[in-house]
């Protein structure tokens, strides 16, 4: 078996030639690897951005359903206030047929959470991270208000079963109504901020929601007549 020993360099010029070839080869390999890695990161960033934008688009479309019920909610709170005023004045009253029973929009944050946990949001620019984070902060705030609204409207819904109201009961219902009003104001502010922040990143909320016809036709109890259908 022949073993070829490396040939000795004959002079500085030959050494430099070999050195340059090696250096250029290493730099070329590193450059190619960097290009591939950069393209890979760009693809991941683009995929994460699109997934998050689609999620926000669906969320805004869902939130818009809540916004369309606001006139009903405001009217129902005024009806409850007038009802309590009559009871407080000792006037005769009959229990309402419908009070609360809010319908809450579904809010999705899974894609943003997954992208953040997987480090993909770090591939976005600082401005993009702030912009998308602002939208999701308001979406989380909106979802957080739902528990308080459920509690307040559940207490108000008890008016359907009460045939007499003591001063203490009226006071308790007024507190629940005050809480419902306050939370509704917070919700409206959140919805507004969501739309503003989403608009800044070009998301309009024009997603097509795949909702069953029966579900799409549903309205919250606040939109139904206070004393039931006219007889």
Please check whether residue 207 is in contact with residue 59, taking contact to mean a CB–CB distance below 8 angstroms: no
Dihedral sign for Cα 134, 62, 105, 59, please: negative
SS3 of residue 39 by DSSP: helix
Task: Tell whether the torsion through CA atoms of 173, 179, 180 and 181 is positive or negative.
Answer: positive
- Residues in Cβ contact with 208 at an 8 Å cutoff, skipping those fewer than 6 apart: 61
Flag whether pLDDT at 37 surpasses 80: no
Q: How does pLDDT run across 111-153, given as a tens digit for each residue? A: 888 888 877 777 778 888 889 999 999 999 998 888 899 999 9
- pLDDT of the residue at 104: 80
pLDDT band per the 50, 70, 90 thresholds, residue 206: confident
pTM: 0.74
Within 10 Å of residue 47's Cβ, how many Cβ atoms? 13
Task: Let me know: does 59 contact 108? Beta carbons within 8 Å.
Answer: yes
Nearest-angstrom CA–CA distance, 69 and 73:
6
Identify the H or E element spanning 190: helix 167-200
Residue 112 burial (CB count, 10 A): 23
Which residues, at least 6 apart from 63, have a Cβ–Cβ distance to it below 8 Å? Answer: 105, 107, 142, 191, 194, 195, 205
pLDDT tens-place string over residues 62-75: 888 888 889 999 99
């Amino acid at each position: 078996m022949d073993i070829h020993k490396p040939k000795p360099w004959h002079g500085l010029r030959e050494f430099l030639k070999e050195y340059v070839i090696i250096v250029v080869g290493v730099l070329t390999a590193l450059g190619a690897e960097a290009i591939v890695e950069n393209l890979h990161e760009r693809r991941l960033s683009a995929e994460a951005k699109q997934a998050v934008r689609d999620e926000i688009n669906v969320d805004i479309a869902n939130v818009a359903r809540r916004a369309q019920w606001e006139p009903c909610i405001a009217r129902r709170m005024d009806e409850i206030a007038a009802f309590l005023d009559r009871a407080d004045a000792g006037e005769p009253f009959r229990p309402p047929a419908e009070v609360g029973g809010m319908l809450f929009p579904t809010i999705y944050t899974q894609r943003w959470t997954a992208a953040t946990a997987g480090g993909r949001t770090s591939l976005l620019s600082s401005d993009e991270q702030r912009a998308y984070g602002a939208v999701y902060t308001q979406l989380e705030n909106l979802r957080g208000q739902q528990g308080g609204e459920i509690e307040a409207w559940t207490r108000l819904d008890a008016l359907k079963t009460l045939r007499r109201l003591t001063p203490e009961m009226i006071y308790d219902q007024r507190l629940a109504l005050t809480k419902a009003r306050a939370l509704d104001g917070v919700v409206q502010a959140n919805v507004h901020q969501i739309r503003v922040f989403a608009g800044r990143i070009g998301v309009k909320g024009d997603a097509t929601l795949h909702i069953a016809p029966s579900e799409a036709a549903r309205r919250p109890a606040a939109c139904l007549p206070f004393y039931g259908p006219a007889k």
